[in-house]
């Protein structure tokens, strides 16, 4: 039985971040990273509790609707045609397959259904198919999100007209580190797509990846780029690198777990009303680390057994962790009455 069937979509959305005059300097964000760990978490908790129910987590499910064979050379991605991984290229999924996966996600408690295609950018022949997917998933009562690569203004408008709620397009890293990760798409290309999405009136989902070999200052640079978007994204996925064999980053040194928590906390402080999502890499995190991330202000997760091509904790494990921590999914009533 779905736990969200009777809840209107409007009740699951937060107000969009408002335009702002203040800009975050990289140096100021770097100072946040340097705070004593407990002080940083305390500050992030204060910000989080001002804007959200601290014990509520939004659940999104991600489906790869077109896997592998991507022409981009992103050094972290097993779907790139440039890398020798075990991921094989597939064609775009059929509409009914996507809707079946969306129904299953809703039954498991997800409120947002995200669809990802391994493209540099969608071709016009694909747009009718993906807009049909948007309309079909929305008809099930789920929020919709897509990540299809770069979009021009016309494609963004087509997705808006179909009713797309969110478009995901990550910046990946800071501008001064970006060129070490990808050469086939510029940083400005990514910013242009975000601008097209925003101008079309679609909510922005935009984050990055840590553990790529970047410095702490470069992590601060990524957060600055995100926080200084006007307005900043409604959703900010923070990915911890999954070093996939066959990619150039397969031997990357794992990021210190406390540094990952610091990144979550700094994202929360600098973007107070965004949904900060624990994304890729959660399968490699133990429960204590995930709990620290929630304490630092994370309030969204990707929910389900798979993230595009990498593993994700099973839904039953997430539910068990939520029960132990006293968390509940967005749209659910908590099992125990929470303090005001």
Dihedral sign of CA atoms 143, 208, 250, 78 in order: positive
Among the options 43, 112, 138, 145, which is catalytic?
A: 145
For residue 121, the Cα-to-chain-centroid distance in whole angstroms is 19
Among the options 114, 138, 206, 262, which is catalytic?
A: 114
Among the options 198, 205, 262, 268, which is catalytic?
A: 205
Is residue 206 among the annotated active site residues? no
Among the options 13, 77, 185, 282, which is catalytic?
A: 77
CA dihedral 41, 46, 47, 51 (to 10 degrees): 130
For residue 222, the Cα-to-chain-centroid distance in whole angstroms is 14
Among the options 13, 43, 74, 219, which is catalytic?
A: 74
Q: Which two tokens stand for residue 269?
A: 């402080």
Is residue 293 among the annotated active site residues? no
Count of CB atoms situated within 10 Å of the CB of 152: 13
Using alpha carbons only, give the angle 258, 264, 267 rounded to the nearest 5 degrees. 140
Among the options 13, 43, 70, 112, which is catalytic?
A: 70
Tell me the CA distances in angstroms from 55 to 45, 325, 326, 333, one per residue in order.
11, 8, 7, 11
Is residue 23 among the annotated active site residues? no
Among the options 13, 185, 190, 277, which is catalytic?
A: 277
Is residue 138 among the annotated active site residues? no
Q: Which two tokens stand for residue 159?
A: 């997705």
Q: Please give the positions annotated as active site.
A: 70, 74, 77, 114, 145, 205, 277
């Amino acid at each position: 039985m779905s736990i969200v069937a009777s809840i209107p979509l409007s009740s699951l959305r937060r107000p969009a971040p408002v335009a702002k005059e203040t800009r975050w300097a990289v140096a100021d964000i770097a100072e946040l990273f340097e705070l004593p760990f407990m002080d940083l978490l305390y500050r992030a908790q204060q910000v989080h509790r001002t804007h959200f129910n601290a014990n509520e987590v939004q659940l999104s499910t991600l489906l790869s609707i077109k896997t592998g064979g991507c022409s981009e050379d992103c050094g972290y991605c097993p779907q790139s045609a440039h890398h020798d991984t075990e991921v094989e290229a597939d064609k775009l999924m059929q509409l009914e397959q996507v809707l079946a996966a969306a129904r299953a996600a809703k039954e498991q408690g997800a409120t947002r259904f995200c669809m990802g295609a391994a493209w540099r950018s969608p071709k016009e022949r694909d747009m009718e198919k993906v807009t049909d997917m948007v309309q079909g998933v929305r008809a099930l009562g789920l929020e919709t999100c897509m990540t299809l690569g770069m979009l021009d203004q016309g494609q963004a408008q087509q997705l808006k007209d179909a009713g797309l709620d969110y478009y995901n397009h990550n910046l990946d890293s800071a501008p001064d580190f970006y060129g070490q990760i990808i050469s086939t798409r510029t940083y400005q290309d990514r910013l242009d797509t975000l601008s097209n999405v925003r101008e079309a009136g679609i909510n922005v989902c935009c984050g990055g990846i840590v553990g790529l070999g970047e410095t702490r200052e470069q992590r601060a640079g990524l957060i600055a780029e995100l926080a200084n978007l006007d307005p900043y994204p409604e959703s900010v996925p923070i990915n911890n690198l999954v070093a996939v064999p066959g990619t150039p980053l397969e031997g990357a040194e794992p990021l210190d777990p406390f540094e990952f928590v610091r990144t979550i906390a700094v994202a929360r402080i600098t973007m107070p009303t965004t949904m900060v999502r624990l994304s890729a890499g959660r399968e490699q995190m133990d429960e204590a680390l995930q709990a620290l991330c929630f304490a630092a202000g994370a309030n969204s997760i990707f929910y389900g057994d798979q993230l595009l091509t990498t593993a994700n904790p099973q839904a039953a494990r997430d539910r068990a962790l939520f029960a132990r921590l006293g968390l509940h999914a967005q749209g659910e009533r908590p099992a125990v009455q929470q303090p005001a």
